[in-house]
Structure 1
Amino acid sequence: MDIGNYDDAVRKFYKTLKITQLPVSSWDFYATNFDKVCETATDLTSLFKIAKERSWAFDQNILKEELEQKEHVIVVTDAKLNIVYATNNIWKMNGYRPEQIIGNKPKMFQGEKTCKKSLELISTAIKEERSFETIVTNYRQDGSTYKCWIHGQPIFNKTGEVINFIAFEREVA
């Protein structure tokens, strides 16, 4: 077989196609979700690592569903309620980057307009090591308020000890 004939055939074939090249500057337009996909993958890798290191007795498929499909913010605290991880999409909700809140307590988002009954519900659920769901008024980094739906639950290790708490959150109207 003559390779030259192959090359000629390929050239003729490509000439029949109507291929439009995209300028480099249009990549941003066509890859608008690329950053989101990368951040989600990074977040899932980090969350799975935490789950493995801490021996979570927790269905990790829930993490993927909550982050990828429901696009919820995920915040993980230790047993003393210090934030140990927050997903990258938190900044869209409240203006904080994850690295700005690590080591703080979720109370950093609360203020004068935060409902005391909701806080009592959360506090009681945490003390009783059970799940909760509520809406609270939280504060963004710029001081403005937003309504935040929170579904929180304790995370137990394989010996039944609470080692983390996890909250799935989203802004609601």
Structure 2
Amino acid sequence: MKKAKLEEISNHNSVPIMAWDFHYEYLNELKVAFTDLKKVKEISTHFAWDEENLNISERIKEEVVLVTDVDMKIVFASNGIKKMTGYAESEVLGKTPKMFQGLATSKTDLKQIRKAIELLIPFEKTITNYKKNGKMYTCRIYGSPVFNLKGKLTHFIAFEKEVLSA
């Protein structure tokens, strides 16, 4: 009888450990999101962005956030970039989003994105991009120009999410 009781107790001890593992992962995700948000806030504050419609703090939890300067050079990529593309932030800084494009990326969609950028209007597109390892992935991108409080263009921001194929 004692042996059965001991096994029952030992089985219960593994549940909290698993729960702590999930809790640890969740806390890590929160820490990363907080760090990303802090970096974006520093850029935002430095350039006096009009953040009213960007909703960065909510979107950064679920989407990859990419910020470029007016010349389309990447100045910030949230930590989710590594999971989505295989590239770390340090590998994409200073490059343009063209680094993710390839043969299967729709030229028509790229042309429409370029036109929206030229007109300084938001856009939303789903395109095929390429990971660091060369594998294709489908990505939904919501891009927008970012203006400071005086109405001057300072950056472009993109919220990106991998779309899983059915």
What's the TM-score once normalised by structure 2's chain length? Answer: 0.85
Partner of 2:76: 85
Gaps of 5+ in 1: 1-19
Identical residues among aligned pairs (%): 38
Shift of 1:60: 7.2
| Alignment of structure 1 residues 66-105 onto 2, 5 Å | 66-68=59-61, 71-105=62-96
| Alignment of structure 1 residues 1-173 onto 2, 5 Å | 27-59=20-52, 62-68=55-61, 71-173=62-164
Q: 1:21 to 1:49 in 2, by over 3 A?
A: same
CA contact (8 A) 1:48 1:60 kept: no
Give the partner amino acid of 2:44. A
Secondary structure, counterpart of 1:46 in structure 2: helix
- String of CA shifts for 1:5-25, please: whole Å, max 9, x gaps: xxxxxxxxxxxxxxx799989
Equivalent-residue separation in structure 1 for 2:138 and 2:91 (angstroms): 21
* Structure 1 outlier segments of 4+, above 3 Å: 20-30
Secondary structure, counterpart of 2:25 in structure 1: coil
- String of CA shifts for 1:103-162, please: whole Å, max 9, x gaps: 000000000110001100110000000000001100000000000000000001122111
Secondary structure, counterpart of 1:35 in structure 2: helix
- String of CA shifts for 1:79-122, please: whole Å, max 9, x gaps: 01000000001111111111110000000000011000110011
Give the partner amino acid of 2:133. D
Equivalent-residue separation in structure 1 for 2:14 and 2:99 (angstroms): 49
Q: Which structure's CA Rg is the greater one?
A: 1
Say what the alpha-carbon RMSD is for the aligned residues.
2.1
Equivalent-residue separation in structure 1 for 2:58 and 2:22 (angstroms): 27
Gaps of 5+ in 2: 1-12
Shift of 1:30: 3.8
What's the TM-score once normalised by structure 1's chain length? Answer: 0.81
Shift of 1:28: 3.4
**How many residues matched?**
152
